[in-house]
Amino acid sequence: MNAVVPPSRPAREVQATELQVLRKAELYRQANAIGRSAQGLELFEKRLIVLALAAIDHGSEKPSLEAVVPLRAFEEHGIENPYDRAKKAAEMLPSRVVMIPREDGGFEAYPWLQRLSYVPAEESDLGFSYIRVLFNEELRPWITDLKTHYAVLPLRDVLQMPSIFSARLYEVLWHLTMAGRRPEVEIGLMELKFAVGLVERDKKGGWVRERYKDWRDFRKQLQQATKAFDEHGSLSASFKGVRVGRRIGKVRFQVDVIKAIPHLGIQPALFDDSGNRGEERLQERLRKVGFTGSASRLIAEHTAPVVEAAVAITERKSREGALTNPGGFLRTLLQDGTARQESLKQEKQKAHDGQQVSSGGIDEDALLAAWERHRHDVADQVAAGEGLSDEQVRELIRRALRDDLAGKLVITTLERNNWSGPTFAMYRTSVLLEQYAEKVPTTAQDFEAFRVREDGVPSSSGTR
């Protein structure tokens, strides 16, 4: 395979104990900064990185950054038919870059890997196919030198997430909430999009190539991702947009532990038949806004959704500095019907959102794959229509990558692969569609427009 760099040592020297580490591993570690990073990975690339991280032995004084991942390990962790997709992920990983935020608001960009080799079963000294990776030595501070500011995550939780969006969002919330021990967190909208791969940074630190600019479109993606948490994760999450000025500028998440997390000694919250997690959390919020009466009686009198609406309004006004008596303000909202009206409005919105999400009918991963094929076909049509030679296409890619943070690394990879393979195909498609945007249909530029064409679910913001 052209994209592979020769391994650091002969395959016959791989020890069986290295493979046992991965097979028995149930956890992986990573620094909080990696959790907040822009990782630039597709779903199977992420799964491969996570499996490799799980294989690292943190017990030694200076752990090796090399890991062996048998392709059958994907199946052992519940991933069906992984072989072709894992091989494709191995082809792409050498060109991938992780962007790690700095405390001063800047960031550092590094290639994920120093070396990768793919060994098919028929050539393997081990009797089965495997991938060996060597992480970039410059990433050691965030991979193995972990004394503080890191998290230990359940391997299976992340591996079984059905999309890269849900996998990355799960990691982000795991880090921010300390595995659910902080039940409520806020994160800036663009910071969140950066972490889940929906916006990029240019060399000056500005935001570029943002996807799902309309909050309603992004909210649907969050709904689908958090729905996957309930099925595959130890954490469950709900969210709401928080306005900064006139626009949604932050996202507030409520996170619950729904499955035991043995390695941290965390159990799901248990309540008797007279209550539930939601009411327990609502009572705590009532206390925080200054309500001094019986929270249980208040909830019984007005119902939990109405009280929650009153609390949300009170919290918002308190943050704005507009209240001198929050507890009294909350009672007024309940008595004059304002909270009930707000609760009814939220219920209608939830019903509308649920109808939109449930009507999708097409698997999100399959739809994204179909969109990429459509974009590739359109790029072929553009190249043919413009009469572009192979060299002209390569020059367009070189120009586009000059302003990209990882451009030099990507160009080196493309040249090493003789301008062929999946990495080249991806950049060729992207560059042609951007350079000739006026001749490209909306369905190849906007995923939501493509979704409408494929499954009939209209984008809430319409075709842009």
Q: What is the pLDDT of residue 268?
A: 77
For tokens 């995550």, name the residue: 153
The per-residue pLDDT for 295 is: 77
pLDDT in the model for residue 242: 92
Backbone angles phi, psi at 208, to 5 degrees: -140, 160
Does residue 135 contact residue 97 with C-beta atoms inside 8 Å? no
Return the structure tokens found at 356. Answer: 């939109």
| Residue 158 to residues 30, 38, 194, 233, 265, Cα–Cα distance (Å) | 13, 16, 19, 7, 19
Q: How many CA atoms lie within 13 A of 182 on its CB side?
A: 11
Pairing verdict, β 27-31 and 130-135: unpaired
Distance, in Å, from the CA atom of 76 to the CA atom of 79, rounded to the nearest integer, reads: 7
Look at residues 92, 113, 107, 95 and name the one whose alpha carbon lies nearest to residue 33: 107
Q: What is the set of domains in the chain, with CATH numbers?
A: 1-155 (1.10.10.10), 161-270 (1.10.10.10), 271-358 (no CATH), 364-455 (no CATH)
Of all helices (H) and strands (E), which one includes residue 67? strand 66-70
Distance of CA 256 to the CA centre of its chain: 18
Residue 312 Cα distances to 243, 250, 352, 371, angstroms: 13, 15, 21, 39
Measured from the Cβ of residue 210, the count of other Cβ atoms closer than 10 Å reads 13
pLDDT recorded at residue 12:
40
Nearest to 154 by CA among 42, 269, 263: 263
Q: What is the pLDDT of residue 20?
A: 38
Closest to 362 measured CA to CA, from 272, 435, 452, 292: 452
Amino acid in position 26: E
φ, ψ for residue 270, nearest 5 deg: -110, 135
Centre a 10 Å sphere on the Cβ of residue 358 and count the other Cβ atoms it contains.
10
Q: Which residues contact 6 (CB under 8 A, 6 or more apart)?
A: 115, 117
What contacts 125, CB < 8 A, 6 or more positions away?
Answer: 11, 12, 14
CA atoms within 13 A on the CB side of 225: 23
Collapsed DSSP state (helix, strand, coil) of residue 141: helix
Low-confidence ranges of the chain (pLDDT < 70): 1-24, 269-280, 350-366, 368, 403-407, 409, 454-464
Query: What's 152's DSSP letter?
Result: E
Angstrom CA distances, 51 to 28, 40, 395, stand at 8, 17, 37
The pLDDT, as a whole number, for residue 133 is: 93
Token pair 């007005």: residue: 302
